[in-house]
Chains A and B, each alone.
Chain A
């Protein structure tokens, strides 16, 4: 089991979460509607669904945590097996 690669993937997912978690797509789209009242743009910008990007950050954070937990579990199991086997 490539424990270090799972750890690395988890760290990369953490960076994705850092990049995406603070983003607010709904806010600027709402401002877009407010900036152009009366047109089709305002109608379309008022549709729900633009907050999805912020949700992505949360999912990436949970993905990172899951990978990190898996890597730790595998590493613990590996170390436990070596300890059980005793000195080489």
Chain B
């Protein structure tokens, strides 16, 4: 901040707090609407399975819109705090200036447009100068300093906002490792981000981290809960669109159906609708499972592009002292199995905590994870990667135990794991 005020008193007199307040309110509204459009903007990204030149063009267009929208949101966010107080500050300046001018007038002084205070000539030449002139001069200088401070603050915010559309921001996060990268590389990438960068990734691109093995559980949960809302809205919209198209087959006169046999098109659309409803059911089940314990569960996997996949942790799988994962296999579906599985694992976890307390470790923590991510029977590379990812996020590299078996017969998967898992494997079946 410069020590010399740039703003003149004549300018401050013309400042308009009402107009300023109106502008601030409209800019805040614009900011809210841009931020509010972000979930739809994410959902407007062309689907991953769409290939070809049209898909590439749509992808480029979406990227252009998303980037400009992000910059607009950043610009408006920069302006917000400075503008929120500006109208009140101007009103205060006007009130104080009126008080000074009234005081000056009452004593025969004059405050000129440039801020100079002129005192009346003393009645007798040898009388000392009126001390009020010095007091008024100091008060006007202070008022101008406050006005200049407000102007400088707003100018700085505008400069930052004006820079945003055209210049890359210095705190842009480094690119994430490619999707097939080892989980520990993802862990290192996430740890390299500043808290502000992590927050930005979670807000602007939750799909980048929600299912990325090696990202801490709490961050995956935040990203996936955001995606859950978006995916649910998308599924509802897709169901409605498909129903509309099915209905159109009964009156095949509109654009796009001329010359097409409705009887031939109907099976494809009916299959689409069934898939969409399966997806919607899975999303509802996940939402209900999380709602059963709003603060105690983490959504560590959410994938509904093909066969729905999900993983829900009871407890924090990154920070807990002991972590067990149960994957019941590809025959278990999210919609059918997740509620019962999380119920069983909740009991297992409570029992493990009781056992740990009896063993003199009342402060020990446990997390249990229901993983419904299998796509094919047999050994599952995705599960192995998920387990490696959880282990990579744990500060001491403590092992993650895989529990095998079904229903109430869960047990640590291998003898090697058994010793490590002794405190965790207090099975629900042995619960009194």
Interface residues of A (CB under 8 A from B): 1-13, 15-16, 19-20, 23-25, 27-29, 31-32, 34-41, 43-45, 47, 49, 52-53, 56, 59-60, 62-64, 66-67, 70, 72, 75-76, 78-80, 82-83, 85-88
Contacts and interface: CB of A to CB of B under 8 A. Distances in A.
Interface stretch (B30-38, B187-195, B347-355): B30-38
B241 A4 contact: yes
B27 A49 contact: no
B247 interface: no
Contact of B23 (A28, A53, A79): A28
11 contacts: A4-B242, A6-B47, A7-B242, A9-B46, A16-B40, A40-B6, A41-B154, A47-B162, A52-B68, A56-B69, A79-B264
Please classify the interface of chain B as helix (H, G, I), strand (E, B), loop, or mixed, using the class held by over half of its residues.
helix
The CB with the most chain A CB atoms within 10 A, among B22, B33, B65, is that of B65
Interface residues of B, number: 75
A19 B15 contact: no
Which 7 residue pairs spanning A and B have beta carbons closest together?
A38-B11, A79-B265, A12-B43, A5-B47, A39-B151, A13-B44, A40-B155
B94 interface: no
Nearest to B52: A1
Contact of A12 (B162, B234, B256): B234
Interface of B: 6-8, 10-11, 14-17, 19-20, 22-24, 26-27, 30, 33-34, 36-37, 40-47, 49-50, 54, 57-58, 61-62, 64-65, 68-69, 72, 76, 83, 90, 147-148, 151-152, 154-155, 158-159, 162, 165, 234-235, 237-238, 241-242, 245, 255-257, 259-261, 263-265, 267-268, 272, 276, 305
Contacts of A72: 255-256
A54 to B, nearest CB: 10
A23 to B, nearest CB: 5
A43 B6 CA distance: 13
Contacts of B41: 12-13, 16, 60
Contacts of B40: 12-13, 15-16, 19
A3 B268 CA distance: 11
Nearest to A32: B23
A45 B242 CA distance: 47
B8 A49 contact: no
Nearest to B236: A8
A40 B159 CA distance: 10
A73 to B, nearest CB: 8
Nearest to B230: A12
